[in-house]
Chains A and B, each alone.
Chain A
Amino acid sequence: DAGVTQSPTHLIKTRGQQVTLRCSPKSGHDTVSWYQQALGQGPQFIFQYYEEEERQRGNFPDRFSGHQFPNYSSELNVNALLLGDSALYLCASSSPRGNQPQHFGDGTRLSIL
């Protein structure tokens, strides 16, 4: 039973560039949430996707966008990268039925130079 998988594991970009991160949910899950975790801090909610639509959004600018595909996998896109976007980006999957546990992937470490 595959857990949540994310790719790539590490990424280095420069300011102003664009990046796409990918996530495949745990088998049986159809809801994907994305989080940003800066060094030494807790994960911050970016947004959640269900049925290929953004269902909830945190306090992140429009430079952060996403997509969910029919197979429930998801992408996180960040445009016009800033130094402050350097962080660990975590994907979590869950079932939408009630308050179900969210299971995290290993994350993508994004470094902006």
Chain B
Amino acid sequence: GENVEQHPSTLSVQEGDSAVIKCTYSDSASNYFPWYKQELGKRPQLIIDIRSNVGEKKDQRIAVTLNKTAKHFSLHITETQPEDSAVYFCAAFGGATNKLIFGTGTLLAVQP
């Protein structure tokens, strides 16, 4: 079945450093890739998304890249701040089943 792998499971960086989270999807027909940020006890919040006809998208300190050939997509956060600390989930949508499949999450800790 469809699968999304996400690495690393935990990531600790110093304030001001960059953070990169990587995901791999199995269904080559997937065509939409959102990223969600979930703070403890709160809802997942959409922070950025990318569609399969685009290779890169940027929004201020956040960027996402997509490599359709390798079925990889990554989240890049620059100039990290303590308020970036949260669990980040990647997801892949589309393909044969039209379901949104989530990765297992990355706990990002930004040390002040």
Residues of A within 8 A of B (CB): 33, 40-45, 48, 55-56, 58-59, 90, 92, 99, 101-107
B83-112 vs A, Cβ < 8 Å mask (1 yes, 0 no): 000000101011001111111110000000
- What is the total of A-B residue contacts with beta carbons within 8 Å? 48
- Do A90 and B43 form a contact, CB below 8 Å, given A45-B100, A56-B97, A101-B34? yes
Give, as a whole number of angstroms, the nearest-CB distance from B97 to chain A: 7
Q: Which listed segment binds A: B11-19, B45-53, B54-62?
A: B45-53
Binding site for A on B (CB under 8 A): 1, 6, 31-32, 34, 36, 42-46, 49, 51, 89, 91, 93-94, 97-105
Taking A42-B102, A99-B93, A101-B34 as given, write out 4 further A-B residue pairs in contact, using a Cβ cutoff of 8 Å, ordered by the A residue number: A43-B89, A55-B98, A99-B32, A101-B49
CB of A86, distance to nearest CB on chain B (Å): 15
Residue of chain A at shortest CB distance from B9: A40
10 smallest A-B Cβ distances: which pairs?
A: A99-B32, A42-B102, A104-B43, A106-B43, A104-B44, A45-B99, A43-B102, A42-B105, A42-B89, A101-B46
* Contact (Cβ within 8 A) A58 B104: no
Q: Is the CB of A33 within 8 A of B43?
A: no
What is the bound-complex CA distance between A107 and B42, given in angstroms? 8
Asked if B99 contacts A58 (CB within 8 A), the reply is yes
Across the interface, name the chain A residue whose C-beta is closest to B6.
A42
Q: List 18 A-B pairs, Cβ < 8 Å.
A: A33-B100, A42-B6, A42-B103, A42-B104, A43-B44, A45-B100, A45-B101, A56-B98, A59-B1, A90-B44, A99-B31, A99-B32, A99-B94, A101-B49, A104-B44, A104-B45, A106-B42, A107-B43
A92 to chain B, nearest CB (A): 8
Q: A41-B104, A43-B44 are known contacts. Are A102 and B34 too (CB-CB below 8 A)?
A: yes
Complex CA–CA separation, A45 to B32 (angstroms): 16
